[in-house]
Amino acid sequence: MKELSRRGLLGLGGALGAAALLSACGEASGSASSDSLSTPAKLRVWFMKDSVSDKAQAWLKQEFENKFQGSTLTIEQQEWDGIVPKLQTALASPESTPDIIELGNTQAPTFCAVGALADLSGMKEELGGANLTKSLVELGSFENKMYAAPFYAGSRIVFYRKDMFQQLGLAIPKTIDELTAVATKIQAGNPEKNAHFSGMFLPGISSQSAFAWVFSNGGRLAVQKDGKWEGSLSSPESQKAIAQLQQLWRTGSTTGTITDSTIGSQPYTAFNTGEAGMFFGFNFHLKKIKKELLDAGNVGYFNFPSPKGDAVGNPFAGGSNVAISNNSKARGLAKEALKLIFSKPFQEFFATEGGWVPGNLNYAAALGQDELSKVTVEAVRSSVGTPAAKNWALVESAKVVDDFFVAMGALKDPVGLAKTADAKMTEILNSK
Amino acid sequence: MTVTSTRAKPEGILPDRTKPAAPRKRRRNPLPYILLLPAVLIVLVDMGYPLLRQITMAFQHFSLEQQFGKPADFVGLDNFTRVLGDSAFWLTLGRSLAFCLVCAALTMAIGIGGALLLTKLSRPVSVFVQAAMLLAWAMPVLSSLQVFQWIFDSRSGVVDWTLAGLGMQGMAGYNWFSNPLTFFAVAAILVIWMSVPLVVFMVYASVTQIDESMLEASTLDGANGWKQFREITVPTIAPVLLLVTILEIIWDLRVFTQIFILQKNGGITEQTNVLGTYVYQVGLSGGDYGVASATALIMLLITLLLTWRYVTQFLKQGEV
């Protein structure tokens, strides 16, 4: 009864807007118990869509709840679209924050810099130390402290229809120009006489796919000069890449004008319906390809080519970091859960179930020795990330780069729009 | 002292002479105030606190660091000068005003027309139409948005298919969301479609209250339909028209969900921003809560300016 009336009073306090009082209470009790392991807690974990397989999720929940009797771990799956504003709001208060969060690697620098995440430097060795993916450690660190640990990495590879290549006498392209030529020939050939046929499925909205052209030509989205960031889509290298892209969209792909992000994130759909000869996707998309196509041996894959054909191209370094919210009331238990995430079984699930390269490279061997894994690891190794700038997440959520590539897909003016986008990036990246 | 005691006496003796006593009694009874309290408190907490917070933030440098606990500095009118100096803001404002006025005007015109039409329909048909409109009105925004996106889909949408079938070659596979003009056309259809029913209901309800004999008399005097509408219907239902117009303008100026969701489908975010999505982008996505608060305050001011004349007129009519 006493308990009930106390709660009732607290509720009334909340209703009266005594938020300050309440949050003060929360803080007092929070700091006392936040690092303790003996107080049971209800951990909330945010994983992104397509990141962690169901098996791995179930394993984590069970292991944690067995190890810490009385505590629970709930995984809430989040959508990539709009996640940055959601995190900005949720992480800011102890009442609403999830305890463990997955952050897109491009968003990690922002959250590390603003004090939203708990310092993980102390447990870096325990999580994997030198075996952690280096580029992801960099993106998850700020002023030499690691706040977000490498979760997993992945990069796109090109899937193609072997039967179409054979029918038209095409070979696997070794250069970017050859890729465009092959796509053009398939599109002109249209072997299945399909009304919506595209040589290569490459929607304008999928800017992360288009980054491969920019990076392989030596271009970058933004560069740091004398401590200041500068948008770099106008550089000769980036412009060359955009010219190649627009050539592809003119003759080898009808999908440049696709602006629906959902369609963009499922590049295998057009491939499955026989409406595309190639698509640029992740290794785990293989599981989404129609069984008949796979069984007939009609599906092949290769690495994104380089401009000169002397090496593997440089696709975008996709991936995630994982972190603990600084406002979590159960940081101690969250750290224990993080240790489970970096244990061998969980890390290997990435490779065996999801097809991602695990954050601790010691366990990458679980990907296997087959051709697909080989191609994937090669893609990850040569991949390039977005700028490790504190404000990069803000550039992303302002859709500067997305809007730019959508316009390129619609064959709009590359020079003028690159200038505008660069100016915007420069402004956002250097603002305090 | 003596005065009160002498007054108290007749009161006790003559309880029926309530004229002076009644107001006094009301003043003493605290019940009305107690009954008012929850509503006032809810308004204060729900609207007052965020508004105060917003006003404070508009004068502060408040970005992500402040969101995560760093103390915020007061910067005077800095945020306001930054908003007003941003050409994107002025473009957005112009776009918003145009969108709001077009939508509000069309909604009112279609709504009033629909209401008048309803009065002429036979009862079963009228009930059917009202039920259909109630459904449109009660439909969750996100569901209607999904349906509209399907209708206007570039690959399998029925609109492109029909237009192409009618011989408009360029319309096969046309992406409505990649061009600002067609983007706003679709958004306007959706916004109007969702707000017309309310106008119809409110106007229909008040039109049916008009004294039949007045209309009859005017017919005998030789007034035609248009004249009746202008000189009898409109003046009689003016308070309702004013109220609905104010609401429409406010709603259409702060439209958010429809534009926000369609933007995800469009990839031309900057060219399709309206005030609501602009504030969201600067504040929540852009992490600049100070500037966003300043923009929101300016937006509030514009809404007040736009509706001021209507509000004062409405209050005057309310008195009469």
Q: Which helix (H) or strand (E) holds B73?
A: strand B73-74
Among B43, B64, B280, B291, pick the best mutation site for testing chain A contact (most A Cβ within 10 A): B64
- The answer on B86 and B54 residing in a single domain is no
Residue B256 counted as domain residue = yes
- The answer on A283 and A167 residing in a single domain is yes
Residue B115 counted as domain residue = yes
**A85 confidence band (pLDDT: 50, 70, 90):** confident
Please give the pLDDT value at position B27. 61
Residue B163, domain CATH: 1.10.3720.10
- The answer on A415 and A289 residing in a single domain is yes
Across the interface, of B49, B173, B268, the residue whose CB is closest to A17 is: B49
The residue range of the domain holding B35 is 2-58
Please give the pLDDT value at position B60. 92
Q: Count of alpha carbons within 13 Å of A288, Cβ hemisphere only? A: 19
Residue B73 counted as domain residue = no
Q: What is the mean predicted confidence (pLDDT) over A299-326?
A: 94
* Four-residue CA torsion sign, A51, A378, A256, A271: negative
B266 CA: distance to closest CA in chain A (Å): 5
Residue B69 counted as domain residue = no
Residue A293, domain CATH: 3.40.190.10
Contact B131, B139 (CB under 8 A): no
Please give the pLDDT value at position B318. 60
Please give the pLDDT value at position B317. 67
Least confident of A92-106, A129-143, B95-109: A129-143
A270 CA: distance to closest CA in chain B (Å): 12
Check CB contact under 8 Å for A115 and B70: yes
- The answer on B261 and B119 residing in a single domain is yes
Rg of chain B taking only CA atoms, in angstroms: 27
- The answer on B87 and B54 residing in a single domain is no
The answer on pLDDT for A27 being more than 50 is no
- The answer on B260 and B154 residing in a single domain is yes
**B26 confidence band (pLDDT: 50, 70, 90):** low
Q: What is the mean predicted confidence (pLDDT) over B217-234?
A: 85
The answer on pLDDT for B169 being more than 90 is no
Please give the pLDDT value at position A16. 35
Name, in order, each residue with C-beta under 8 angstroms of B266's C-beta and a sequence gap of 6 or more: A259, A406, B177, B178, B183, B272
- The answer on A301 and A366 residing in a single domain is no
The answer on pLDDT for B3 being more than 60 is no
- The answer on A425 and A330 residing in a single domain is no
Residue A390 counted as domain residue = no
Check CB contact under 8 Å for B286 and A81: no
- The answer on B216 and B167 residing in a single domain is yes
- The answer on A172 and A141 residing in a single domain is no
The answer on pLDDT for A30 being more than 80 is no
- The answer on A354 and A226 residing in a single domain is no
* Four-residue CA torsion sign, A375, A377, A378, A379: positive
The answer on pLDDT for A6 being more than 60 is no
Please give the pLDDT value at position B28. 73
Which positions in chain B touch A88 (Cβ < 8 Å)? 64, 67, 284, 287
**A295 confidence band (pLDDT: 50, 70, 90):** very high
Domain count of the fold of chain B: 2
Closest alpha carbon to A359 in A313, A303, A318, A302: A318
Check CB contact under 8 Å for B285 and A431: no
The answer on pLDDT for B233 being more than 90 is no
- The answer on A273 and A345 residing in a single domain is no
B124 CA: distance to closest CA in chain A (Å): 42
Contact A68, A336 (CB under 8 A): yes
Name, in order, each residue with C-beta under 8 angstroms of A95's C-beta and a sequence gap of 6 or more: A23, A26
Across the interface, of B264, B268, B286, the residue whose CB is closest to A261 is: B264
Residue A20 counted as domain residue = no
- The answer on B252 and B126 residing in a single domain is yes
Q: What is the mean predicted confidence (pLDDT) over A248-274?
A: 91
Which positions in chain A touch B154 (Cβ < 8 Å)? 257-258
Q: Which position has the higher pLDDT, A80 or A244?
A: A244
For chain A, the residues whose C-beta falls within 8 A of a C-beta of chain B are 15-17, 81, 84-85, 88-89, 91-92, 110, 114-116, 196, 204-205, 257-261, 326, 391, 393-394, 397-399, 402-403, 406-407, 410, 428, 431-432
Residue B8 counted as domain residue = yes
Residues A260 and B268: their CA atoms lie apart, in Å, by: 11
Across the interface, of A16, A92, A406, the residue whose CB is closest to B267 is: A406
Residues B61 and A398: their CA atoms lie apart, in Å, by: 19
Residues B124 and A245: their CA atoms lie apart, in Å, by: 60
Q: What is the pLDDT of residues B255-283, one digit of tens each?
A: 999 999 888 877 688 889 999 999 988 88
Structure tokens at B124: 């079963």
Q: Give the ipTM of the model, two decimals please.
A: 0.73
Please give the pLDDT value at position B320. 45
Least confident of A151-155, B68-72, B299-303: B68-72
The residue range of the domain holding A347 is 34-154+318-381
Which positions in chain A touch B267 (Cβ < 8 Å)? 204-205, 259, 261, 399, 402-403, 406-407
The answer on pLDDT for B6 being more than 50 is no
DSSP state of B176: G
Please give the pLDDT value at position A366. 82
B26 CA: distance to closest CA in chain A (Å): 28
Contact A206, A259 (CB under 8 A): no
Least confident of A230-234, A322-326, B225-229, B289-293: B225-229
- The answer on A338 and A238 residing in a single domain is no
Closest alpha carbon to A84 in A67, A70, A103: A103
- Paired sense of beta strands A72-78 and A42-48, if any: parallel
Closest alpha carbon to A262 in A205, A313, A215: A205
B34 CA: distance to closest CA in chain A (Å): 15
- Contact pairs from chain A to chain B, CB under 8 Å: 84
The answer on pLDDT for A20 being more than 50 is no
Q: What is the mean predicted confidence (pLDDT) over A400-429?
A: 94
Q: What is the mean predicted confidence (pLDDT) over B212-237?
A: 85
Residues A115 and A113: their CA atoms lie apart, in Å, by: 6
**Residue with tokens 């890449």, as numbered in its chain:** A241
Q: Which range among A322-336, B21-35, B149-163 has the greatest average pLDDT?
A: A322-336
Residue B48 counted as domain residue = yes
CA angle B60, B64, B67 (to 5 degrees): 70
- The answer on B207 and B133 residing in a single domain is yes
Please give the pLDDT value at position B12. 43
Domain count of the fold of chain A: 2
Which positions in chain A touch B65 (Cβ < 8 Å)? 114-115
Phi, psi of B94 (to 5 degrees): -60, -45
Residue B17 counted as domain residue = yes
Check CB contact under 8 Å for B68 and A15: no
- The answer on B87 and B30 residing in a single domain is no
Please give the pLDDT value at position B130. 92
- The answer on A414 and A277 residing in a single domain is yes
